[in-house]
Structures are given as structure tokens and as C-alpha cells.
Amino acid sequence: MKKEDIRSISDFADTVKETLETRFGSDRKITVNNVLKNNGVELTGIVIKTNGSSIAPTIYLESLYERYLEGVEYEELITEIIEVAEKHLKNDIVDFDIDMFSNWEIAKNRVCYKLVNASMNADLLKEVPHVLYLDLAILFYYTVENTEIGTASILIKNEHLKLWGIAQEELVMRAKENTPLINPVDILPIQEALNGLYSENEGGGTTGMMDIGESLPMYVMSNKNRLFGASTLLYPGIIKDFAVYHDMSLYILPSSIHELILIDSASTSEDEDILRSMVHEINETQVDKEDRLSDNIYYYDLESDTIELAA
């Protein structure tokens, strides 16, 4: 396909595939893959596999295609793709060892959990082990050691349980043990979190929450890695210890799958409907669809030590 014939991301992907096949020759196998991500988001990726390797990086094309439509030269984008691919292949996908992943006795030490929206991931839930929690679903993933190219993870699917020969209960048990250790909780006042942890264009829903009221005491709860940090909601004793220390019941606002906002329920004059409306608006305008957790808000009652959907 010629570059001038590109009229869709599918055309773009096919053209990129043909170009990379020419550049890499027979040393690499190039395929186009559509991947179902969180919240029903489907992305188009180019998979570049080296002969003899058991793994291959996937480079998603959506942002590259948008830049192409904006006038960025095609060859410039191809150069970027090749550079990213070479960097991943050089590091062997953050030193990922497929044999370690295939061996449950080794892999069990790296499985963690994360929270996603249940209804928005109805199709995905058919393919993965999960536990329902409020309006959310607990999913599980294998986390790969951090290296210079960042953090990688593999979503655990039903087929992986068969590969490992384990029941879901064992997966859940291991993830409960590992997640707070691998991804320690981090709770900061919202302004401190924004000043110290996010650049101008990061923070998503956390930045938007500032509109609720600058004078209202709010805290950001995530993990040290700022990846799937909403899962800290499930860490044993964390919410209770925070609430006891501050002597307050809490509204918990789902900023994204990566962080939550904690608010003293007694200090806000906003009723629950207004808070819920604000969360919805921020999700629609400031949080990428793939990163949205929920339009609902949650209430932690200090006296009963329970978390529930706010009425």
C-alpha cells in the first residue's frame, strides 16, 4: 500500500508493516495486532519479533497515526518505531524470561492485583480470573522488574491458570501477599502530590479534583510506582489506619485506576450527588478512557470500618 492511500489507522498499520518488513528483512517477523485494553479500549499495535526470541514488543500506533494526520513525515515516524523496537529488543523486554513466567514456583512471587471498572470490562472479564468488589473488578497481572525502559506487566488470563496448573484461589492469595510489598502505598496531601510527583501534563483526574475546592483537605492515595495505585484501596488496614489517625470517616473519589482521592466526609459541604457529578465530569474531560476507574464515589465509615458505594 502506498502512503498516499492511507485513509484509516488500519491502512496506516498495514503500510507500517510493509515498511518494517522491508527495513528488517527476514530477521524479524512483523504482524499487526488489535489488543483489547482496559475499559473496552481497542488499540492497534505492530508486533516485532526477532527470530529465536520467545517474546516481542508491541508498539501501539494510535498516537503515531494522529501525528501522521497532523503532518508529521511518515519516515520520521518509522524511525521512531524502529528506535523504540531496538531499545526494547536490546533489553529483551526488560529482561523478561518466558521460562520464569511459565514456572508458577517462580512466577508466583511477581503476581499482583489491580482494580478496574467491572461493567466497562464485561468482555475482558470473560477471559481473565477476577474477583468482583463493589462496582469494580480485581484483576491480576505479572509484574516485570523495572529497567531503563520502564515497568512492564502481563495481564493474567484464564489460560495462564491452566499453564500453571493452579486454581484462582491460589492466585488471589499470592497477589494479596505480593502487591503491598511490590507496590508500597503512598498517601500525600493533594498539592504536595501534584507539585512533587506529576509534570504539567500528568495527574489526570487528580489535577481535576483540585476544582472541588482548594481549601478542602484532600489526599492522594496511590503506590510508589504510580501504576495501578487505586489497588491500594484493598491493602489491609491502610484506609482504617489513615482514618483513625485523622479521626474521620472518608469519601473516596476514584481519580483513575492509578490513584484515589481521600476527603474528610465531615469537612465537605458538597453532597454526594454533587461529588459524583464532579467525578463523572472529570472522567469525561480529563482522564483517558483507558485509565478511568468509576463514576461512583465510595464512603468509608470509621465506626464500622467498612467501605461501600455512597448512596
Domain shared by 170 and 263, yes or no: no
Domain termination residue (choose one: 160, 182, 204) = 182
pLDDT in tens, 76-124: 999 999 988 887 766 555 455 677 788 999 999 999 999 999 999 999 9
Domain shared by 158 and 102, yes or no: yes
pLDDT at 55 over 90: no
**Stretch 158-181: mean pLDDT:** 97
Model pLDDT, residue 99: 72
pLDDT at 58 over 80: yes
Model pLDDT, residue 211: 52
Domain shared by 77 and 153, yes or no: no
Model pLDDT, residue 87: 77
Model pLDDT, residue 171: 98
Domain shared by 163 and 194, yes or no: no
Domain shared by 24 and 57, yes or no: yes
Domain termination residue (choose one: 20, 55, 90) = 90
Model pLDDT, residue 188: 92
pLDDT at 74 over 50: yes
Domain shared by 195 and 277, yes or no: yes
Domain shared by 57 and 139, yes or no: no
Q: What is the DSSP string of the chain?
A: --GGG--SHHHHHHHHHHHHHHHHGGGEEEEEEEEE-GGG-EEEEEEEEETT-S---EEE-HHHHHHHHTT--HHHHHHHHHHHHHHHHHTHHHH--HHHHH-HHHHGGGEEEEEEESGGGHHHHTTS--EEETTEEEEEEEEEEEETTEEEEEE--HHHHHHHT--HHHHHHHHHHHHHHHS-EEEEEHHHHHHHH--TT--THHHHHGGG-TTS-EEEEEETT-SSGGGGGGSTTHHHHHHHHHT--EEEEEEETTEEEEEETTT--S-HHHHHHHHHHHHHHHS-GGG---S--EEEETTTTEEEE--
- Average pLDDT of the residues of the chain: 87
pLDDT in tens, 268-303: 766 888 889 989 999 999 999 999 999 999 999 999
Domain shared by 210 and 304, yes or no: yes
Domain shared by 55 and 10, yes or no: yes
Domain shared by 8 and 33, yes or no: yes
Domain shared by 284 and 170, yes or no: no
Domain termination residue (choose one: 164, 182, 200) = 182
Model pLDDT, residue 206: 54
Domain range spanning residue 174?
98-182
Residue 22 vs residue 87, higher pLDDT: 22
How many domains does the chain fold into?
3
